[in-house]
Amino acid sequence: MAIPDELMQRAEGYAKRHEITILVDSPLGFGQDGAVWKSSRATAIKAIERERNYHNERDAYRRLKQQNVAKIGIFDVPQLVGFDDELWIVEMGIVSPPFLLDFGKA
């Protein structure tokens, strides 16, 4: 399944606002909730498909950051780097397995 152009356009809009580059040849994932790419500043840019899932995911990462949570049990949790409420983008640190990533339905 191909990544929808609309998600890529929003990710590129976020990148332009923050003077970074989306490494389009290095997608990290694509699924029901959105698409994730590496950025030129070694972060992950996630374009989220639905507004409700975006707000859930953004808010979960914000709470984790406020509580300084970097691990849950043995699982790494990416750190929130930035977000955009207009473009439904979450930017986070890249983690190595095992990890917890998807909080869109949390």
Is 76 a member of any domain? yes
Q: Is the peptide bond before 98 cis (omega within 30 degrees of 0)?
A: yes
In total, how many domains does the chain have? 1
pLDDT digits (tens, 9 = 90+) for 55-85: 999 999 999 999 999 888 888 888 999 999 9
Distance of CA 67 to CAs 6, 37, 47, 63, 98, Å? Answer: 33, 26, 24, 6, 20
Is 55 a member of any domain? yes
Cβ-in-10-Å burial (0-12, 13-18, 19+) of 77 comes to buried
The pTM (predicted TM-score) of the whole model is 0.88
Q: Domain holding 29: CATH number? A: 3.30.200.20
Range of the domain at 67: 5-93
pLDDT digits (tens, 9 = 90+) for 7-58: 999 999 999 999 999 987 767 887 778 999 999 999 999 999 999 999 999 9
